[in-house]
Every structure is written in structure tokens, then in C-alpha cells.
Amino acid sequence: MRYYRRLAYHLRGRGLSETRIVRILSEVRDLSAASARAPLDEFGPTESYAATFGRGGVRWPLSRWAIWGVRLAAGGFVILNIELRRHGGQTLLPWWVVLGVWVAVLAAGELGRYALDHRLPRDFTRAAVPAPSDPSPAPVAATPEKELGGYYRSLAFHLRLRHLPEPEVTRILADVHDLARASGSAPAAEFGPAPEYAETFDSREQRYRLSHVVFLGCFLAGVLLVVGNMAGELRGGDRLLPPGPTLLTLAALFAGGATFAVLFEHRLPRAFRRSHSARPTA
């Protein structure tokens, strides 16, 4: 499985979606088995074969979210100890332990990133994804709640990343829903992965939406908190918050703003949800 792990790593490096990676790995496995040759002999080195595919639209895979979360946590731990020391308190741990923990956490994050990027997709290891030549259609969702679930939310998210206006997002989702329902196949089987299908539409001029406003508001609130603490120290007065609560507040503002932005951009347009949620599925 080493060849497949390295191929998955290079495909993720090109920003391909997990669905497409599963499909490519399945093709390599099936064609290698049919020719009775090793994947390396059939397709060549993994890096060269991965380069034959165009770049995808996934800019923040799971490994990148994980590594930056670890880096922020490690940095916050060091900053907290510095703040405690600056204000005459005791650090949580001796400094040599603090630096050792910082290095260990960063190293663990890099190892985790390496493991996440080299992992085999679960659908590939379970052999649950059919080869593209399989004529049998993918099963259609059984209920309206499932039908209007992940694929449509993901498609809406990636269309908004291309700055399409809401009426056009609604129209595209409705077209996908109606054509997939008419063909009797799942949207992913009919149109491909949501990120790749969204890339077929031209990107528009960037517009600021509610998610941008909320995230920017949380960011500015954090900046004001830091500035207020600094101003209080310069005047010889009290800080707005002690170091510990300050870091927790900054983390809560960042996490809250980011969570709201992600959930808001993944929402289904109200017009699409109202007009399609009551339709029976095939």
C-alpha cells in the first residue's frame, strides 16, 4: 500500500478533493490488477503520475487545519507563560519545560500532518467506491433531508467561494437537483465532486457578506481587547482582563467567528430549501 499512500499524498498536495482521490486510487488499483503489473510499473512514480492531473480547488485540507490548530495552541501556551511572567506571576511550568513542550507539540503536529496527508481514504480501503466504468447508478437519497444534505451544502459553499450572487447559487442548486432527480442518479455521480463542479463557473468580483462582517467584527473585538490591555499598562492602570482570560477570550472570538463563517457559507439558500424540500425523491 506504500505506492497508494504516496500517490494520495501527492494528489492532496495538488488540492484534489477526497472523492476524486478515491476515484483515482481505485482506477490505479483496478488497472494494475487487470494488467497483473505493479502500480509503479504501470503508472510510473507517484509524483509524476499525480502531476498529470490538474490542480483542484481544495486549499485547506484536513492536515492544514490540524497543523495550524496545533501551531496556534503551542504559540498560545508560550504567550500565556510570557504574560504571566511579565506581570510578576509564576509560569505554569519552568521555562526549559515550556520550551520543551512547545518543540514537542510542534513536532507532533508535523508528524500528524504527515500522517494525515499520507493516509488512505476510508472509502478506498473499504472498496466502497465503484470504478468510473461501472454503469450502475449511485443510489439516490431516500429522504428529502438526506437529498438536500451534504452535496448541496458543499456545492453552495464552493459557489460562494467563487463570489457568485445568491440568486445564481439558488438557480445552480435547483438545476443540479432537478437534473439528478430526472436521471435517477445521485448528484455526485451526475456532476462530479462539488468543488470540481463549482470550478466550472467563472469567479465573480468579491463581495462582502454577513460571514465576512461577523468574522471581521470578532477580529476587531480581539484587537480592541489587546489595545485596551496595552493602554492600561502604559497608563499604569489595570488591564481589561488578566493574561489567561485574555487569551481565552481571543481564542473564543476567533473560533466563534470562524465557526459562524463556515456554517453560514454552507447554508442552503432559503428559496432552494423551500421549493425542493417537499418534493418526493425518486
CB atoms within 10 A of CB 186: 16
Predicted confidence at residue 193, as pLDDT, reads: 78
All three cell numbers of 243, joined, read 493574561
Cβ within 8 Å of residue 111, ≥6 positions away: none
d(CA 168, CA 160): 10
Walk along the chain (282 residues) in steps of 10 and give the mean pLDDT of each run: 87 80 88 88 87 72 77 81 71 76 84 82 64 45 49 86 86 89 82 81 78 87 84 74 78 85 84 67 38
209, HSE (Cβ side, Cα atoms, 13 Å): 17
